[in-house]
Structure 1
Amino acid sequence: MSSARERLLGEVIGYFARHGVSDHSLRGLAAAVGTSHRMLIYHFGTREGLLAEVVRVVEGHQRDTFAALTATEDADPRTAARRFWSLVVGPALRYGPLFFELSAHAMQGQPHATPLRTSLVEPWLEPLTDLLTRAGQDRDTAATHARLGLAVARGLLHDLLLTGDREAADAAMDAWIDLVLTPAPRSPAR
């Protein structure tokens, strides 16, 4: 059974998924999810602390989705990457502005976002490296491409949030996937 904190966080995330993330006060958000602002303060400290927790959980769900798509050794890396992109764009349209805002807070060392400094990049690198290694890259190249791929994906999500041009973002991601995950041609045997 989940804790009261986890249930409350789930309610908040569900509310944001249905209504978007905007400038909700703790009182307004508490009323919307059927609790009191005191309970939100008790469990999350501040509005910003609650929002940082929302980002952490949504990121965790995205990593779980990626893990499920790439769980089998025979999963085609290009297909998995394209499927993951298609699945991540929807939540990014809802939570992306919050993600980028709180990422900036983490960069600035604001206390409510400090945990994000270690949870937004590192946990992605090993699974991405594994996928790229399975696609035929040596481990060092795969590790470099994992970090680069994470940056490309986040950059394209940023682009999409600013421009609203889903077609262009999808085309750029397809090009990136083809660039990085297309096996190099083998030289003919001599």
Structure 2
Amino acid sequence: MTAAGPHGSGRERVLRGAIEYFAAHGIGDVSMRGLAAALGTSHRMLNHYFGSREGLLTAVVDAVEADQRELLSTLLRDRETDSRAALRHYWRQVSDAAVTYGPLFFELSGHAMQGRAHAVSLRESLIQPWLEPLELIFQRRGSDGAQAAVQARISLAVARGLLLDLLLSGDRAGVDAAMGHLIDTELGAR
């Protein structure tokens, strides 16, 4: 444990607190002052760490994405696990998180596409870091490097599309069935 506490730096501790706050209360229209009070810090410190509300929200999306990639990497390290069951479990965790963070994810993805300064870092973190672990899944299934790269990109696009579908339609059963089909036909172990 460091002087900054069990969660690392002050910035990291505040970021983790914000993620927990948003998970419990949703994103909504919480102000920086309201969030600061809930986190036991000051509006000034939030601005110091993140620059703006949008900067904080971008950091939240980036951190949630990194956590989900780490969860996927952990799943891939355990080669003894039934990959279909593990991927279904992973999908459930990701889609549950999307209910809270998905609207923010898609909104800030739009900001990144528009080149807004607070979201430009997402251009680097929302696609490329996902491709390598997904390529590994396909390589383990016997695809060569180029084919695995294409399959990884398609799978990421389908997963993101299904998350958008879930947020818009609320059809959990339909979205889960579609992902189950993808897992059974494309992602699960042979």
TM-score (normalised: structure 1): 0.92
1:58 match: 64
Moved over 4 A (4+): none
Q: Aligned runs of 1:2-151 on 2, under 5 Å?
A: 2-151=8-157
> What code does the residue aligned with 1:164 have?
G
CA contact (8 A) 1:133 1:139 kept: yes
CA contact (8 A) 1:159 1:169 kept: yes
The structure-2 alpha-carbon separation of the partners of 1:26 and 1:183, relative to structure 1 and needing over 3 Å to count, comes to: closer
CA contact (8 A) 1:77 1:131 kept: no
Identity of aligned residues (%): 55
Looking at structure 2, the residues matched to 162 and 133 of structure 1 have their Cα atoms a distance apart, in angstroms, of 33
Summarize deviations over 1:114-148 as a string: whole Å, max 9, x none.
00000000001011001111122222211101011
The structure-2 alpha-carbon separation of the partners of 1:27 and 1:142, relative to structure 1 and needing over 3 Å to count, comes to: same
- Match of 2:69, SS state, is helix
The structure-2 alpha-carbon separation of the partners of 1:76 and 1:137, relative to structure 1 and needing over 3 Å to count, comes to: farther
Kindly state the Cα deviation for residue 86 of structure 1 after the two structures are TM-superposed: 1.4
Q: Which runs of 5+ in 2 are unaligned?
A: 3-7
CA contact (8 A) 1:70 1:80 kept: no
- Match of 1:109, SS state, is coil
- Match of 1:106, SS state, is helix
Kindly state the Cα deviation for residue 23 of structure 1 after the two structures are TM-superposed: 1.0
Kindly state the Cα deviation for residue 81 of structure 1 after the two structures are TM-superposed: 2.1
**1:165 and 2:165 aligned:** no
- Larger radius of gyration between Structure 1 and Structure 2: 1
TM-score (normalised: structure 2): 0.92
Q: How many residues align?
A: 184
> What code does the residue aligned with 2:102 have?
G
The structure-2 alpha-carbon separation of the partners of 1:76 and 1:143, relative to structure 1 and needing over 3 Å to count, comes to: farther
Q: Which runs of 5+ in 1 are unaligned?
A: 185-190
